[in-house]
Structure 1
Amino acid sequence: MADFICDRTFKAQDFTKTRLKRAEYENCRFEGCDFSDGFLDNQHFMECTFLECNLSNANVVNTIFKEVRFEHCKMMGLKFETCNALFIDFGFLDCTLNYSSFYGLTLKGLRMVDSKLIGADFTDCNLTQSQFVRCNLENALFQNTNLSQADVSTSTNMNIDPERNVLSNCTFSMENLPGLLAKYKIKVVS
């Protein structure tokens, strides 16, 4: 049985060589910690906040992220599809998620704000009612993705094929139009 750790703050700790103790973390804060290329597999994070942490390329196999917030974090190359998908519930504010993968996840109501998602993979995701607020979606992959009732109207650099994704009641701006028509090689001018 894993330990239970509640209401603790971890500041500026380096978990790249010594792994975070395997436990269930509830209502904990991780501030300025380095988990890059480290092991966060089989951990349980509930109602936790990661602030200004580096989680790039961390192993998150079977990890539970339930009601977790990531703020101002570097999270490049994470394979979120290896997490425990049953309890997955998180949000991102001003995070760098370049080349991270959310392949096949159900992330209804996901909220990403002011984040970089360059080359991120959302193939086969259910992103119903999600919000991408002022995000950079350059080269992000949307294939067989359900974006019903999602809002991407303030995001930039997207390329989403309307024939290969579900877009019913998805909100776009006029500035998003070239990214929806890119495959047709149509030029949109204002």
Structure 2
Amino acid sequence: MPEYFLDIEYNNQIYGLDEMSFKEFECCTFNNCTFSACNFMDVTFIDCVFNDCIFSQGKINHVALRTVTFNRCEIKDVNFAMCSKLIFEVRFEDCVLDFSKFYALKIKKTPFINCSMIAVDFMATDLTEVLFENCDLYRAEFGQAIANKANFKSSRNYTIDPKTTKLKKAVFSLEGLKGLLYKHDLIVN
């Protein structure tokens, strides 16, 4: 049975390899914590908030993220595809998610606000109604994704092939249309 922690605030902690395994956190807040060395195993976060935390290269195998908010976090090269798919609900604001993977996850209505998402893997991901607000999506991969009603209007640097990505009623700015036409070698001025 995992250890259970309720309504606790953690500040300036650096967690080691197995320190986070087999635990459940509910309504907890983590401020300025570092999880890069962690090998998360069977961990659940419910209604938790992470502020100014570092997860880069952390292994989040079998982690449940249920209504979890990440603010100003560095989350480079993290494989979210290994998370529990049951009630996977996250929010990212002012985060660096470069090289992370959301492969084949269902992340409907997830907000990504002011995030760097360079080379993020969204292949085969359900992005229905996802909000990409002011995000840098340079080299992000959307092949086989479902991005119906997704909002890319204020984001930039994306290249999406409408033949391999479902985009029905997705929202783009006029400036962003060139990211949909790149494959056709057209010049848009």
| Cα separation, 2, equivalents of 1:100 and 1:50 | 17
**Equivalent residue number for residue 97 of structure 1:** 97
CA contact (8 A) 2:21 2:41 kept: no
Q: Name structure 1 gaps, 5 residues minimum.
A: none
1:137 to 2:124 alignment: no
| Cα separation, 2, equivalents of 1:106 and 1:21 | 24
**TM-score under structure 2 length normalisation:** 0.97
| Cα separation, 2, equivalents of 1:116 and 1:41 | 27
| Cα separation, 2, equivalents of 1:181 and 1:38 | 41
What SS class does the counterpart of residue 40 from structure 2 fall into? coil
In the TM superposition, residue 87 of structure 1 has moved relative to its aligned partner by 2.1
What SS class does the counterpart of residue 60 from structure 1 fall into? strand
In the TM superposition, residue 20 of structure 1 has moved relative to its aligned partner by 2.6
1:61 to 2:61 alignment: yes
**Equivalent residue number for residue 73 of structure 1:** 73
What SS class does the counterpart of residue 183 from structure 1 fall into? helix
In the TM superposition, residue 41 of structure 1 has moved relative to its aligned partner by 2.3
Mapping for residues 140-155 of structure 1, pairs under 5 Å: 140-155=140-155
**Equivalent residue number for residue 106 of structure 1:** 106
In the TM superposition, residue 22 of structure 1 has moved relative to its aligned partner by 3.0
**TM-score under structure 1 length normalisation:** 0.97
Large movers: runs of 4+ above 4 Å: none
Cα deviation digits, residues 25-45 of structure 1 (max 9, x gap) = 000001000001322221000
Cα deviation digits, residues 59-104 of structure 1 (max 9, x gap) = 1111000000000000000000001011211010000000000000
What SS class does the counterpart of residue 85 from structure 1 fall into? coil
In the TM superposition, residue 149 of structure 1 has moved relative to its aligned partner by 0.7
Mapping for residues 1-190 of structure 1, pairs under 5 Å: 1-17=1-17, 19-20=19-20, 22-189=22-189
Aligned residue pairs: how many? 189
| Cα separation, 1, equivalents of 2:24 and 2:159 | 39
Cα deviation digits, residues 109-141 of structure 1 (max 9, x gap) = 111000000000000000101100000000000
| Cα separation, 2, equivalents of 1:83 and 1:21 | 14
Which stretch of structure 1 is more off in the superposition, 131-140 or 31-40?
31-40
What SS class does the counterpart of residue 62 from structure 2 fall into? coil
In the TM superposition, residue 18 of structure 1 has moved relative to its aligned partner by 6.0
User: Which protein has the bigger strand share?
Assistant: 2
